């Protein structure tokens, strides 16, 4: 209860400040104003048998990815100290990178020993997970990885999937969980962006790399990476079975929907892995959300080894991502544009931080202070985790000014927090705006 009250109080402090995104200095003052109520050291205790019940109110959802399993992870321990209602592992939860299943088992055993994970499992937090390339198989792999059935079984064993779980038998480990009481339901959709994903399109054949100077031009201009957007619309990120399943999930009644995608949905100008590798699939996602009338959608992603907040706003969805060779903006049709901003909380990495580099992201929000990538603003480059706080009881300011009766006007506070648990990026949005 104390954790929930603290989360609601923090959200109230931010709302009172009238802030939409808040830099590190303000975040520090908010943290100081709301005292910590949990131990400073993560306890190592046995797993609990009573994680969050299906009808329990969800206020806090923590997010993380990219954890080298045999190295300390202060960010994961900081997340565990918050005791979030839900923690979602967004992939690269180990670095298997092998076709030897004993390697995967050994690395999962190392992950099991992480104090942060043990604390999460011992407490009231509901722990959920999807995978990315390094726990699916190997770097940047998709459908071509030959041992995916074997890693699927190991994944399901480690994350304690029941023997009859569909995640063990379907083509992919995608899943959905619905939590919370009527009128305050939170749906968490765990996508599988690996099992059925078509091979990526390389910028140049791997056996004929470009001269270093030309490659350097891409990077200095913010277009670093090795992959191009597919123009072949028969290629896929999710596969048809998962798309059909997702459509049904988006029709399930819920007030907040978190779509956990291991790779970024919003950011599109870099040439690493993202939904922009398959622009037709990215447009399809926006179209599907619009067609089903799914409200309250927020994306969560990992993979990038830094934290950032992004949003694809109405009228800003592209049909083809800009490139170094052609930086022009090519927008999707009006019919395909989202009806509300599609936020993407990129929470990466729990302990695999990025080197400093410049990278374009036309959809990026805010500036991560000392962790920024360049003077124009950028992501947070050090160890971090994401946090989404739902203030279900937020009162409408307009109605308050008019003296009307209390009518809830819920808000979502999207955050990136550093390895100490201090906020470095925040953006607040009214749930009513996500319709």
Distances (CA, A) of 389 to 48, 73, 411: 23, 22, 8
Cα–Cα distance, 361 to 223 (Å, whole number): 9
Nearest to 262 by CA among 197, 202, 332: 197
Would you tell me how many other CB atoms lie within 10 Å of the CB of residue 121?
A: 18
Whole-number Å distance between alpha carbons of 350 and 367: 20
pLDDT at 202 over 80: yes
pLDDT in tens, 145-177: 999 999 999 999 999 999 999 999 999 999 999
Task: Report the chain's mean pLDDT, rounded to a whole number.
Answer: 85
* Partners of 225 in the β-ladder: 271
pTM of the model: 0.85
pLDDT at 358 over 80: no
Domain hosting 395: range is 2-433
Q: What is the pLDDT of residues 258-294, one digit of tens each?
A: 999 999 999 999 889 999 999 999 999 999 999 999 9
The torsion angle over the Cα atoms of residues 211, 216, 219 and 225, rounded to 10 degrees, is 20
Tens-digit pLDDT profile for residues 105-130: 999 999 999 999 999 999 999 999 99
Nearest residue to 107 via CA among 93, 121, 117: 93
pLDDT, position 355? 73
Q: How many domains does the chain have?
A: 1
Position 359 scores a pLDDT of 85
Find the CATH number of the domain harbouring 264.
3.60.21.10
How far from 31 is each of 337, 374, 411, 420, CA to CA, in Å? 37, 26, 19, 11
Contact 77, 119 (CB under 8 A): yes
């Amino acid at each position: 209860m104390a954790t929930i009250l603290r989360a609601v109080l923090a959200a109230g402090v931010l709302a009172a400040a009238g802030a939409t995104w808040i830099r590190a200095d303000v975040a520090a003052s908010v943290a100081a104003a709301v005292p910590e109520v949990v131990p400073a050291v993560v306890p190592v205790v046995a797993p609990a048998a009573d994680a969050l019940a299906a009808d329990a109110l969800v206020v806090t959802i923590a997010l993380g990815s990219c954890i080298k399993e045999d190295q300390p992870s202060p960010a994961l321990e900081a997340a565990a100290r918050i005791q979030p209602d839900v923690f979602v592992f967004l992939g690269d939860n180990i670095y298997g990178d092998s076709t030897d299943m004993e390697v995967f088992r050994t690395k999962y055993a190392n992950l099991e020993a992480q104090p942060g994970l043990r604390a999460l499992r011992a407490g009231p937090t509901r722990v959920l997970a999807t995978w990315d390339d390094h726990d699916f198989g190997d770097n940047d792999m998709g459908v071509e990885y030959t041992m995916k059935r074997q890693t699927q079984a190991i994944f399901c064993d480690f994350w304690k999937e029941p023997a009859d779980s569909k995640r063990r038998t379907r083509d992919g480990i995608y899943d959905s969980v619905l939590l919370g009481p009527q009128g305050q339901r939170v749906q968490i959709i765990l996508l599988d962006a690996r099992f059925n994903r078509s091979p990526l399109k390389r910028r140049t054949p791997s056996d004929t790399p470009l001269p270093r100077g030309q490659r350097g031009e891409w990077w200095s201009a913010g277009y670093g990476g090795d992959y191009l957007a597919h123009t072949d619309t028969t290629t896929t990120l999710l596969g048809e079975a998962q798309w059909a399943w997702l459509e049904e999930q988006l029709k399930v009644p819920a007030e907040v929907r978190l779509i956990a995608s291991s790779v970024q949905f919003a950011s599109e100008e870099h040439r690493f892995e993202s939904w922009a590798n398959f622009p037709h699939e990215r447009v399809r996602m926006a179209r599907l959300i619009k067609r089903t009338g799914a409200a309250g959608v927020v994306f969560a992603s990992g993979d990038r080894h830094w934290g950032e907040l992004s949003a694809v706003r109405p009228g800003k969805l592209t049909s083809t991502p800009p490139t170094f060779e052609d930086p022009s903006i090519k927008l999707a049709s009006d019919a395909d544009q989202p009806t509300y901003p599609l936020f993407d909380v990129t929470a990466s990495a729990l302990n695999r931080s990025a080197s400093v580099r410049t990278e374009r992201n036309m959809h990026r929000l805010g500036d991560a202070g000392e962790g920024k990538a360049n003077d124009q603003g950028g992501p947070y480059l050090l160890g971090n985790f994401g946090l989404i706080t739902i203030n279900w009881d937020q009162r409408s300011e307009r109605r308050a000014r008019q003296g009307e009766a209390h009518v809830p006007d819920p808000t979502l506070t999207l955050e990136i927090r550093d390895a100490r648990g201090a906020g470095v990026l925040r953006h607040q949005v009214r749930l009513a705006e996500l319709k």
